A = this chain, B = another copy of it.
């Protein structure tokens, strides 16, 4: 292992619908807080999830981690579950609103399992970045997360 530490970022795309709604609030409160995002029939987005990992650059292979391993993990743990779905129907959002902030935290929870799942003990999850539209994006760096990275 070299002492050089690099970051690698990989982008994944999925299309999903959602509705921002809190059951314990009144319809008026929901409309006031979430505006058009509270539309009862939902709306949708092409989400872009970019995951960033850091780790030592392997002296022999010149790599932090094999992108093929990361792609397999993302396909199985993220894309198969989230692509072409309604986020409100997923187990991940049983107890919380389907905002992109919460989606970031859920992606952090999922990708925090990559280091163990692959054999990358030295790789750390650094950032989850989600683009909801071309105008707004969200980042989560694990602050306050109840899971290790």
Contacts and interface: CB of A to CB of B under 8 A. Distances in A.
Given A4-B144, A84-B39, A144-B3, A135 B11 contact: yes
A139 B6 contact: yes
Which range contains the number of A residues in contact with the other chain?
35 or more
B138 A102 contact: no
Interface string A7-48: 111110101111010101100000001111101011111100
Contacts of A105: 4, 6, 57
A83 interface: yes
A36 B71 CA distance: 15
Copies, count: 6
Nearest to A48: B134
A101 B15 contact: no
Contacts of A7: 138-141
Contacts of A63: 97, 99, 101
5 contacts: A9-B137, A16-B44, A17-B41, A22-B60, A33-B66
Given A24-B60, A63-B101, 17 more contacts: A5-B143, A7-B140, A8-B136, A9-B139, A10-B135, A18-B44, A33-B61, A33-B66, A41-B88, A42-B44, A43-B85, A44-B44, A44-B46, A46-B134, A60-B97, A64-B101, A67-B136
